[in-house]
Amino acid sequence: MNKLNWGLIGCGDIARKRVTPALRELANSELIAVSRAQANLAAAFAQEFGARRWYADWRELLADDEIHAVYLATPVHLHAEQTIAAAEAGKHVLCEKPMALSVAECDRMLAACQTHGVQLGIAYYRHSYQVLHRIKTLLADGVIGRPVVAQINAFERFNPAPDHPRHWFVKKELAGGGPMMDFGCHRIEVLLNLLGPIASVQSSVGQILFQREVEDTAVALFEFANGARGTLTVTHAALESQDTLSLFGSEGSLHLPSLNQGSLVVRTAAGEHTEEIPPHANLHQPFIDEFTEAILRGSTPAVTGATGREVQRLIELIYQ
């Protein structure tokens, strides 16, 4: 097999802007079918992006024998049910983040995929950013000495009205949490990737500006197994947007003023310089390409369900 046939479940914003264009453009992938609950919208989406078929019921898509793998671009409360059903249908799964609403759901997803011999990847696409690969190399080469402190800020003003299509993001039973669950999870995966296992967690979670079911602000303090400390601050309440990453070591520091831009500042006793390592124009495409190649080669994806579970375990500790 030299090409992976995909089914897409969920045709929302991320699917339209990133996932489907990647599946269309990658030489190793072919988009066979899409699923969306509203039949007219599913048909229009399939026509727009060149999918051969569409289904209003995602279960019917899973019964399509031509499909090898599915991308789940659906709300998190559906991930466990859909992943388990996909595994039972013999489909590999690339699931949007966060993996599930709970560690217990993650465990059921992992068990189903193992039982049925399919791979489960979680779409923490920043894992494929070349600037993060560069940071890992600099850390391994000892350029900033021993890692001491990591700091991440992720600020995005967000408080949708009840009639807003994204209002489910602030409903506890549908989203699982607020900004820590939604985009804090991405940053936890980044920290695990760069600094390794996290040994302990402390946190402060609350509603500073918006009274709603989930937090608008959260701060997590991590102690890594290597002794380093890290802070992750996320908020929906601040007016100013931020997406920063700083790593301070015993001999220098590394800074990304904007994680999604890839402008890396390196500071040591020898001086300061900046390296420009921007991500792919389609942030999802390299990650989907890597997952697809792993399936075609019969190897393990870069970000597995085990990583997704560990992120969820840490989020549950933050919310305790």
pLDDT at residue 279, rounded to an integer: 97
- 192 and 261, same domain (yes or no): yes
Cα(69)–Cα(33) distance, integer angstroms: 11
pTM score > 0.95 for this model?
yes
Q: Is residue 87 part of a domain?
A: yes
Q: Residue 263 is part of a domain; what is its CATH number?
A: 3.30.360.10
Read off the DSSP letter of residue 258.
B
Percent of the chain with pLDDT over 90: 99
E strands, the chain, are 4-9, 29-35, 53-55, 69-72, 92-95, 120-122, 147-155, 198-206, 217-224, 229-235, 242-249, 252-256, 263-268, 271-276
Read off the DSSP letter of residue 225.
T
Q: Whole domain around residue 135: which residue ranges?
A: 130-278
Q: Which two tokens stand for residue 264?
A: 């890396």
Structurally, the chain folds into a number of domains equal to 2
- 23 and 94, same domain (yes or no): yes
- 140 and 214, same domain (yes or no): yes
Q: Residue 34 is part of a domain; what is its CATH number?
A: 3.40.50.720
- 93 and 222, same domain (yes or no): no
Q: Is residue 314 part of a domain?
A: no
Q: Is residue 214 part of a domain?
A: yes
Q: Which two tokens stand for residue 131?
A: 């600037």
pLDDT at residue 296, rounded to an integer: 98
Residues 68-102: tens digit of each pLDDT: 999 999 999 999 999 999 999 999 999 999 999 99
Q: Is residue 263 part of a domain?
A: yes
pLDDT at residue 1, rounded to an integer: 81
Residues 36-51: tens digit of each pLDDT: 999 999 999 999 999 9
Read off the DSSP letter of residue 280.
P
- 150 and 223, same domain (yes or no): yes
Residues 18-74: tens digit of each pLDDT: 999 999 999 999 999 999 999 999 999 999 999 999 999 999 999 999 999 999 999
- 32 and 152, same domain (yes or no): no
Q: Is residue 148 part of a domain?
A: yes
Write down how long the chain is: 320
Q: Is residue 295 part of a domain?
A: yes
SS3 268: strand
